[in-house]
Each structure stands twice: as structure tokens, then as C-alpha cells.
Structure 1
Amino acid sequence: MTSAVFEQSYVAFLDVLGFSEMVDRAVSQPEADELNRLYRCHIAARNLAAADRELSIIQFSDSVVISRPYDPSQFSSFIKMVADYQRLLLSERILCRGGVSRGPHYAKEAFVMSAGLIDAYLLESRRARYPRVIVSEDLLKLVGSKFIRKSPLLQEDDGVVFVDFLRGGRSREKQRLADAARQCITTCREHASSSVLEKGVWLAAYTDAALGTTLSLERFGSPDWASFDI
């Protein structure tokens, strides 16, 4: 048996948001098609990655791991792959958040052991907060501006650099993504959880900036006094 060795790699960890609710609906409401929606994304992403034999996509439950051996010249294509996967999820009205890092990584078949994955997971769990995939500052410095400039990235006012997955593409795709984002935002606004609501607020602002929509609500306005009548 060939000895397993770590390889310095790009590693993206994505967390599918609202997964437990998706599972509940899949079990109690088979007609909701939750299982097929997520599986379609997985198959489409696998097909996208087929052209690059060094790219790996592993999914288990609500976790997705995308990896590729580290090469500064391949940074842009790796980030574009992450963006493609986010668009696939959004087209099925599924949101995710995550982190992209670099580190020693080994993945073969269903086995993964990776320091890079741990770093990416910590980025997701500690800093992502919204439906965005953020990129490690150390990785950005390592890759350098020459390759960063060619990549679909944005920097938010909190200093975080994240994958800009909505820009680009044809007008028909933009409209489809805007419609999917609108449905996700409506679902977030109707949710009882304040953390889910803030994800919808963020997505509305980002979609407006990226696609020129007007999904954000006016932040300050007069109260609907009639709603307070008993």
C-alpha cells in the first residue's frame, strides 16, 4: 500500500445553513424535494470539477470540503470553483457559509485528515457569520496581489475578504439567482430566529450590491401603528 503523505493544499470548508430543518422537511414532507435539491448540487459540482483531476469535493451531511494542491497560479480557479458551488446551492435556494485556508491536507476516497481543513472550519465558525465564504488573510498574503486581483473576491466593511459568487455570468443566470435570493431572503425574514433574520438582511444587501436588485428593506421608518392595536 502506498504511504499516505500530507500535501500543502487550498482547503475550503462550507457549512450548509438550515440543514437540520431541511432534514426535518425531507422526512416529514417528501414532496418538498429537499434531498434531491442538495444532491443535484453535489452532482453538478462534481461534474464541474471533473476537468481538474487535482480538485477534490467531499460532502458529508451539512459539510462540504473542496481542496486542491497549493499553487499560487491556481488560486483564482480554486476561488471560482468555490463561487460556482455557492451559485449551485443558491439556485436550489440553499445558503452556505464557510472559510478558505491553506495547510497540510490529505484526502482519499472517504478519508480526510487535514490541518488546512481545521483552519478553514475555524474561519467559518468564528468569523463567517453570514452566508459568505471568507478567505484567510494569511493565505491572501501568501498568494500575493498578482493572483488575488484575478479572483472573484470582495472586502466587506468589517475587513473580511469573501468569495464574490454573484457577480459575472449571463443576464438570464443573474435573474435566476436574484429570484432564488429573493426566496431565501423571504424565508429568513419569516423565521423566528434573529440570527437567521440577520443572514437574510446580509444576503439582501449583498444581492443588491452585486446584481442591482432592491431587496433590502428601508432600515428606518415610521412604525405601523395599527399593528399595535389590540
Structure 2
Amino acid sequence: MIGLSFVAFVDILGFGEMVVADYENAAPGTTYLPSLKAAIHTALASATSINSKITQFSDSIVVSSPFSTSCEEFEQHLRLVRDLQSLLFNAGILCRGGISHGRHFHDETLLFSQGLIDAYRLKSQVATDPRIVVSGETLDLLYPTGAKLDFLIRDVDNEAFLDYLGHLDGNHVSGILEKFRPSLTKSSPRVRSKTAWLYRYANFCHEEIMLPELITMRRSNNT
């Protein structure tokens, strides 16, 4: 039956390039596929313990958990999605997405969901950078006096997103970021903007991570 659920829609950034890289490799399927599979299977182990579901298809991941007015159960859902995003980052994979709530059906073969449509809208219209934005309506419902969660950050546009780097070691984050540094110069303006946002977010979480000169130069030129 269709019931209320918390729903996350996650979009894997650069998925097409990942597929091409894997299948143009001398050993097809050994570049990104094992890391993506490991991240999702690790998250699935946690999902089972809280009666949540995870489905991945093409560049999309859907995570759903039974709805509850209990803040504790909502926070379990947020942690599950946050940890999945951290696992993907550790594998050098960025994503963006949205988290909402609504009527939702999710089994082994079928997704039929109002909550998924709302989460997808957040992904498409709001979470333009590598961040997973949480619906303001959902937060207002669960936290009518305001949400102050350790794993949520308010961005400059006042949208709340999952903090997937703050709980990781700063040196580790710095090392992973090096994989994305070439995108600051060799990719499209859209990709450069997403990469610059990632570096600014990492610097916010870990002050020891310095912003590349290219980012500070562009910021100075725009002022």
C-alpha cells in the first residue's frame, strides 16, 4: 500500500563520463563500478536496520524510510543519506539531490511516489551544487521551532543541506579533493562552478583546507 515516507532523490554527477571511463578501460568495469557498488552495499546494510530502502538505477539513487513525526526517525533517514553521500565522496564520486516527504510506494520492482517527485524537484531546481538539500516544509513540520542538527548546514541561499564532509578527517578530505582540482580549469563553466562550491564547503568544514588560487582570483575579480 501507498503510505507516507521520507524520500531522498540523489543524482550522481558525471555518471556518463564514469560509464565511458569504465568501459574504455583495458579491464572494463574496474574504475568506478566497484566503488559505486561498495558504497551502495554499505549503505544498504545500514538501511536494513532502520527499515529503509535504497534503489539505484542509471545516475539516480532513491532512499526511502517510513514517515514518522518522531525527529529521531527522521534524523536516522538523514544520517543514512548523509553517510551514503560521504561514501560516494570517498570514492571520488559527487552527487546532488533533495529530501522530502509524501505518499510513496517502493518495492523491489516499482517506485510510485509523490514524495519522490518533490525530492526530484529539489534536486533539479535548488540543489545545483554537489549538495543534498532538505525540504523546508519537511523541516518545518518536524521542527516547528527550528532545526539545529549537527549534520545540516545552511548555505548562503538559506537552504539546508546535508553536511557530508564535516565528520570526515580534514586531511582525508583534502586528499580526495585533489581528484577534482583539474575540473577548475579543464571543464565547462557549470562544472567549474560546482567544483568551486565544493572547495568552499570543504574550507568551511576544515579551515586547514586552503582554497585554490583560481577560486580566490575569480572571487576577487567578481567583486
For normalisation by structure 1, the TM-score amounts to 0.86
Aligned to 1:44: 42
- Displacement, 1:145? 5.2
Residue in structure 1 matching 2:31, options 30, 33, 42? 33
Q: Tell whether 2:203 aligns with 1:208.
A: yes
Question: Quick one: which amino acid aligns to residue 36 of structure 1?
Answer: P
Residues 1:57 and 2:57 are matched in the alignment: no
- Give 2:20's aligned residue: 24
Q: Structure 1 residue 146: deviation in Å? A: 6.7
CA shift digits 1:105-131 (9 cap, x unpaired)? 001112110000001001101110100
Tell me the distance in 2 between the aligned counterparts of 1:195 and 1:177.
22
List aligned pairs for 1:108-187, cutoff 5 A: 108-144=107-143, 148-169=147-168, 171=169, 174-184=170-180, 186-187=181-182
Secondary structure in 2 matching 1:178: helix
Question: How far apart are 1:147 and its partner, in Å?
Answer: 8.3
Q: Which amino acid aligns with 1:220?
A: M
The 1-side partners of 2:171 and 2:16 are apart by 29
Distance verdict in 2 for CA 1:50–1:154, change over 3 Å: same
Whose Rg is larger?
1
**Do the aligned partners of residues 119 and 84 (structure 1) sit closer, same or farther apart at CA in structure 2, a change above 3 Å counting?**
same
Secondary structure in 2 matching 1:134: strand
Aligned to 1:198: 193
Pick which of 21-30 and 97-106 moved more.
Answer: 21-30
CA contact (8 A) 1:75 1:148 kept: no
* Counterpart contact for 1:80–1:151, Cα < 8 Å: no
Instruction: Indicate how the Cα distance of structure 1 residues 137 and 33 shifts in structure 2: closer, same or farther if over 3 A, else same.
Output: same
Give the secondary-structure state (helix, strand or coil) at the position aligned to 1:131.
coil
1:205-230 CA-partner distances (Å, limit 9, x unpaired): 00011122113435238xxxxxxxxx
Q: Is the 8 A contact 1:76 1:147 kept in 2?
A: no
Per-residue CA distance 1:31-71 (angstroms, 9 max, x = gap): 5612112111111111222322x211111111000010111
Pairwise CA distance, 1:187: 3.5
Q: Would you say the 8 A contact 2:140–2:146 is kept in 1?
A: no
Residues 83, 164 of structure 2: 8 Å contact kept: yes
RMSD: 1.8
Partners of 1:104 and 1:116 within 8 A in 2: yes
Q: Deviations over 1:131-189 (max 9, x none)?
A: 000011111111115783245101111121111111125x4xx43233112322x1421
Q: 1:88 aligns to what SS in structure 2?
A: helix
Once the two structures are TM-superposed, the CA of residue 87 in structure 1 deviates from its matched residue by 0.5
Alignment-mate amino acid for residue 77 of structure 1: Q
Evaluate the alpha carbon distance shift between residue 203 and residue 79 of structure 1 in structure 2; reply closer, same or farther with a 3 A threshold: same
- SS of 1:45's partner is helix
Contact 1:105 1:114 in 2 (8 A): yes
Q: Sequence identity, in percent?
A: 33
Give structure 2 stretches of 5+ with no counterpart. 219-223
Give the total of aligned pairs: 212
Distance 2:69 2:164 in 1: 20
Q: Distance in 1 between matches of 2:83 and 2:174?
A: 15
Q: Which moved more, 1:97-106 or 1:139-148?
A: 139-148
2:221 corresponds to: none
Relative to the length of structure 2, the TM-score reads: 0.88
